[in-house]
Chain A
Amino acid sequence: MQKNLNLNINPNIGTAVFKQLVDQVQRLIARGQLLAGDQLPSTREVAKQLTINPMTVSKAYSQLELEGHVERKKGIGMIVKASTQDPKEQQESLLKPTLKEFVFQAKQLGLSKSEAYKLIEQSWSEDE
Chain B
Amino acid sequence: MNKPLDIQSLSHGFSQSLWPWAKANEDEYCLDSIDLSLEPGSITGLLGKNGAGKTTLIQCALGLIQPIQGHAEIFSENSWNASTESRQQLGYVPQESGLLDNAKNEELLRHWGAYYKNWDHDFALALLDKFEIDKAKKTGQLSVGQRQCVSIIMAIAHRPNLLVLDEPVAGLDPKARRQFIEVLLEDYWDENKTILFSSHITSDIERIASDVIFLKDRKILLQENLDQLKANYHKITLPEQEDRQSLIDGIENKVAIRERGNDIIVTVSQPVPQLSSDILQQQLNLEDLFMELHA
Contacts and interface: CB of A to CB of B under 8 A. Distances in A.
Interface in A1-52: 11-19, 47-48, 51-52
Contacts of B287: 12
- Contact residue range for chain A? 20 to 34
Contact of B207 (A14, A53, A107, A108): A53
A11 B203 CA distance: 7
A18 B208 CA distance: 11
B227 A19 contact: yes
A14 B186 contact: no
Contact of A51 (B181, B230, B282): B181
A34 B202 CA distance: 33
A53 B43 contact: yes
A15 B283 contact: yes
B218 to A, nearest CB: 28
A59 B202 contact: no
Interface of A: 11-19, 47-48, 51-56, 59, 104, 107-108
Interface in B265-295: 277-278, 280, 282-288
A14 B185 contact: no
B238 interface: no
B288 A14 contact: yes
B278 A108 contact: yes
12 contacts: A11-B203, A12-B285, A13-B283, A14-B288, A16-B231, A19-B231, A51-B182, A51-B207, A52-B185, A104-B278, A108-B278, A108-B280
Interface string B202-221: 11001111100000000000
Given A16-B230, A18-B227, A51 B202 contact: no
Nearest to B205: A11
**Centre residue among B208, B226, B283 by max chain A CB count within 10 A:** B208
A48 B187 CA distance: 11
B282 A14 contact: yes
B178 A17 contact: no
A13 B285 contact: yes
Interface residues of B, number: 29
B203 A14 contact: no
Nearest to B227: A16
B171 interface: no
Contacts of B288: 14
Given A13-B285, A14-B285, A59 B227 contact: yes
Given A15-B230, A16-B227, A54-B185, A104 B206 contact: no
Contacts of B43: 53, 55
Nearest to B203: A12
Contact of A48 (B186, B226, B231, B285): B186
B63 to A, nearest CB: 28
Given A55-B41, A104-B277, A11 B207 contact: yes
A57 to B, nearest CB: 11
B178 A51 contact: yes
Contacts of A108: 278, 280
A41 to B, nearest CB: 15
A53 B277 contact: no
Contacts of A12: 202-203, 206, 285-287
Given A11-B206, A108-B280, 6 more contacts: A12-B206, A14-B284, A14-B285, A51-B207, A54-B185, A104-B278
Contacts of A47: 185
Given A12-B206, A16-B227, A53-B209, A104 B185 contact: no
A48 B285 CA distance: 23
